[in-house]
Amino acid sequence: MIESDIKAKLSFSDGTPDIDLPIYKGTVGPDVIDIRKLYGQTGKFTYDSGFLSTASCNSKITYIDGDKGELLYRGYPIEDLAHNCDFLEVCYLLINGDLPNATQKKDFEELVMHHTMVHEQMQFFLRGFRRDAHPMSVLTGLVGAMAAFYHDEIDYSDPHAREVAQIRLIAKMPTLVAMAYKYSVGQPFIYPDNSLSYTANFMRMMFATPCEEYKVNPVLVRALDRIFTLHADHEQNASTSTVRLCGSSGTNPFAAISAGIACLWGPAHGGANEACLQMLNEIQANGGVEKIHEFIAQVKDKNSSVRLMGFGHRVYKNFDPRAKLMRETCYEVLNELGLQDDPLFKLAMTLEKIALEDEYFVSRKLYPNVDFYSGIVQRALGIPTEMFTCVFALARTVGWIAQWEEMITDPEYKIGRPRQLYVGETSRKVPNITVRK
């Protein structure tokens, strides 16, 4: 962090002396005002519910310019990465800070592909779940349970122990997601095939059966690989902040990632892709394109809680660059499968057009986000709706562990401990039960 020559001056109207607060500059993006000594100097906290103006850490991993619609992983634009790199290269980049050369790429692929199998006992743990449980609840449990199955390296101050945990997570997530799916449909688990690419292996574990081998289609593998890349990291979003906060206590990394998965599940976050497809299905079932205006009127009605899912973002206020790439992928996949006339895709495009011309969405700077089209692509690939957020979790795992590693190795790292503005009762005595109201 580079300290700026400019200082922020904070004045109070009650006679408390003014204080100067240091300002730090990033390489790009807004400067930050350092308030760490504020409480010590003034006895006051800052109030920022929802973290609208708070930088919780400094980071070198991902940069977003919400006004420009720019997303960089380690300085590389997402468009460039999506067009020129595969997901494992992006994983290497996020963890190590630079893209791999040819040897590093091969070594990394081999390392990941030789950790794809999970402890055999994990399937018995999985069998304890109801088959109709939501796969995100199952995945939260499975990844949390990795802390029990892989607790041999407990000293996470050791870089090697951390690397082992990182590789295990990247390698085993596809296996666990596929196991959660197979269990939900009552099919036998398919073991990984390490001769396939990371993404092709995942698709095979999802869709092959012991009776029928899965034929890998390179266009579809590329599409899913791109979905992984687009979801790999997104700076300090809710689930990443959850992983950092949880991990800041020094807990087991599998437990911290499990907390991130739980957070991601919510419909305002990763659960939006599932909610978006459900929304499109409902509009379609109620009359399709003809009913869009009625649906939009409901969204705009202050008395209804209906939201246009897959629209809006806390940071992007111009466009979400991932949504553009996802739309491109959507065309590729539907063409490949001969589904150009897919009614849901047509409905989504019409809905997007109508919303983008509507004053309500324009004035609030609401644009399609990555989840608006990702559900249509995943559905075309044969992934069931309830599995969408698991696919997101699989992809985001690398971002979570890169952020966890960055936090653990930050010399300024402390356990996360926000404060509060208390607005409850002041101290009072417990009345005898006979006189309580």
Q: Is 38 exposed, middle or buried (0-12, 13-18, 19+ CB in 10 A)?
A: middle
Which of 141, 192, 312, 399 binds ligand CMC (CB under 6 A)? It is 312
Is 243 a residue that touches ligand CMC (CB under 6 A)? no
d(CA 220, CA 216): 8
In whole angstroms, how far apart are CA 255 and each of 148, 150, 258, 331?
A: 9, 11, 5, 38
Residue number closest to ligand CMC, CB atom? 312
User: 134, 234, 269, 313: which one is catalytic?
Assistant: 313
Size of the site for ligand CMC (CB under 6 A): 20
d(CA 167, CA 146): 13
Which is nearer to ligand CMC, 246 or 355 (by Cβ)? 355
d(CA 10, CA 18): 6
Is 311 a residue that touches ligand CMC (CB under 6 A)? yes
Which of 222, 234, 327, 379 binds ligand CMC (CB under 6 A)? It is 234
Which of 115, 222, 269, 327 binds ligand CMC (CB under 6 A)? It is 269
Which of 371, 389, 399, 401 binds ligand CMC (CB under 6 A)? It is 371
343-351, 368-376, 379-387, 398-406 -> range binding ligand CMC (CB under 6 A): 368-376
Which of 1, 117, 268, 362 binds ligand CMC (CB under 6 A)? It is 268
Contacts of 250 (CB under 8 A, 6+ apart): 156, 415
Site for ligand CMC in 328-367 (CB under 6 A): 364, 366
Tell me the Cα Rg of the chain.
24
Which is nearer to ligand CMC, 112 or 309 (by Cβ)? 309
20-28, 304-312, 329-337, 402-410 -> range binding ligand CMC (CB under 6 A): 304-312
Is 370 a residue that touches ligand CMC (CB under 6 A)? yes
- Output the smallest distance, CB 356 to ligand CMC, in A: 13
Which is nearer to ligand CMC, 151 or 353 (by Cβ)? 353
Which is nearer to ligand CMC, 142 or 299 (by Cβ)? 299
Is 369 a residue that touches ligand CMC (CB under 6 A)? yes
User: 86, 225, 320, 371: which one is catalytic?
Assistant: 371
In whole angstroms, how far apart are CA 121 and each of 208, 265, 273, 335?
A: 22, 26, 32, 42
72-80, 96-104, 303-311, 405-413 -> range binding ligand CMC (CB under 6 A): 303-311
**Residues 320 and 370 sit within 8 Å (Cβ to Cβ):** yes
Nearest CA-CA partner of 70 in 363, 310, 269, 318: 318
Which of 173, 203, 223, 299 binds ligand CMC (CB under 6 A)? It is 299
**Residues of 120-136 as b/e, b for ≥16 C-beta within 10 angstroms?**
eebeeebeebeeeebbb
In whole angstroms, how far apart are CA 154 and each of 21, 95, 256?
A: 40, 20, 14
Is 270 a residue that touches ligand CMC (CB under 6 A)? yes
158 in the Ramachandran plot: left (φ > 0), alpha (ψ -120 to 50) or beta?
beta
Is 308 a residue that touches ligand CMC (CB under 6 A)? yes
| Residue 32 token pair | 């930050």
177-185, 211-219, 305-313, 423-431 -> range binding ligand CMC (CB under 6 A): 305-313
d(CA 230, CA 209): 29
In whole angstroms, how far apart are CA 306 and each of 165, 269, 302?
A: 41, 16, 9
- Output the smallest distance, CB 230 to ligand CMC, in A: 10
Residue 3 parent element (H or E): strand 2-10
What would the DSSP string read from start to end of 52-63?
Answer: SS---S--SSEE
Is 307 a residue that touches ligand CMC (CB under 6 A)? yes
Looking up tokens 């495009």 gives 349
Residue 225 designated active-site: no
Residue 5 designated active-site: no
- Output the smallest distance, CB 347 to ligand CMC, in A: 17
Q: Could you list the active site residues? A: 313, 371
- For binding to ligand CMC (CB under 6 A), which residues are involved? 234, 237, 268-270, 272, 299, 307-314, 364, 366, 369-371
